[in-house]
Amino acid sequence: MPDPMMAKVRLPVPFSVTAGARKDSVMKENSAFSSRHRHAFTLIELLVVIAIIAILAAILFPVFAQAREKAREVTCLSNMRQIGLAVRMYVQDSDEIWPIFYAYNTQPPADIADHKGVEVLLMPYVKQKDAFRCPDDFGGPIPANTESGVDYGGCKDIPGKAGSYRDCYGSSYRFTRGAFSTIENESRQNNVLCNADNPYCPPSGPVGDSAFERPSETRILRDEMLPWFGGDADSNGAKYGYYPDYYRQWHPRGGSFVFADGHAKFVTSVTTFDTMFVTPDGQKTFANSGWAYD
């Protein structure tokens, strides 16, 4: 039988055992710290990562911007096709007489009763006013800085209308005056009646569809702003008359166009633009009377 006194006595743990346990614990802690330390980024590593991200951004952002602009070009051209078809339907329904010419009228401005614009005549065929809005219609100096109640006016004094040609004048697209029916004392441009006393808008009378000698080559509609209207292409405005008072860049590569047969295309060549026909009888943009027909 064991001695009760001996059962209560605990033998001391050898020092070597406790010391070893403490040593193992310290080593594990140091190992964990060392592991965490090894997985942390150094400042140099962070700078390298930031530099790589910056390089990738510099490469990819222009690509994304080009893709977005290409999408806007496609939308603009789609709008133009709709308008071209609307013109053809209007002509067929009007005994082959082309719509009456109006442009840049702000007395009253777009979307207000009695506004004068070709887009108003075409609306029954297009059905939506945004078809007349170019996605790159960033407006221009005149609609933004000129009040509506004057000749050659803008929409500075009308809330919500000074930021784009569509909102101010009704269309982001310029209808070619020489191709439409400019009717004396009815047609109006820049709030000024078209008549024999107006050198910028002399009357042509009704234009018949059969008068077009080269319908597939005769421009009837274009983007209001084209890249060769400003900057280095026409730095003093002597050729096109837009820069600097009227010009603001829209599409950087070119612009959309519609022709008298109803087809549309995106043009990037200034030479092609300069030699387009702009009247039924084949006047070119810069031949003979030239720019006055645009």
* pLDDT, tens digit (0-9, with 9 covering 90-100), for 8-62: 555 555 545 555 555 555 455 555 545 555 566 788 888 888 888 888 888 877 7
Q: What interhelical angle do 43-93 and 118-126 show, nearest 10?
A: 90
Is the per-residue pLDDT at 237 higher than 90? no
Query: What value does the mean pLDDT of the chain take?
Result: 87
DSSP state of 41: P
Alpha carbons 286 and 175: distance in angstroms, whole number: 17
C-beta neighbour count of 212 within 10 angstroms = 22
Q: Taking the model in full, what pTM does it have?
A: 0.79
Query: pLDDT band for position 289 (50/70/90)?
Result: very low
Residues whose CB is less than 8 angstroms from the CB of residue 258 and which lie 6 or more positions away in sequence, other chains included = 80, 81, 83, 84, 87, 173, 219, 220, 221, 222, 264
pLDDT score for 288: 44
Inter-residue contact 104 to 146 (CB < 8 Å): no
What confidence category does residue 66 fall into, taking pLDDT thresholds of 50, 70 and 90? confident
Condensed to tens digits (0 to 9), the pLDDT of residues 202-234 reads 999 999 999 999 999 999 999 999 999 987 888
pLDDT of 175-184, one tens digit each? 999 999 999 9
Query: Across-strand partners of 103?
Result: 189
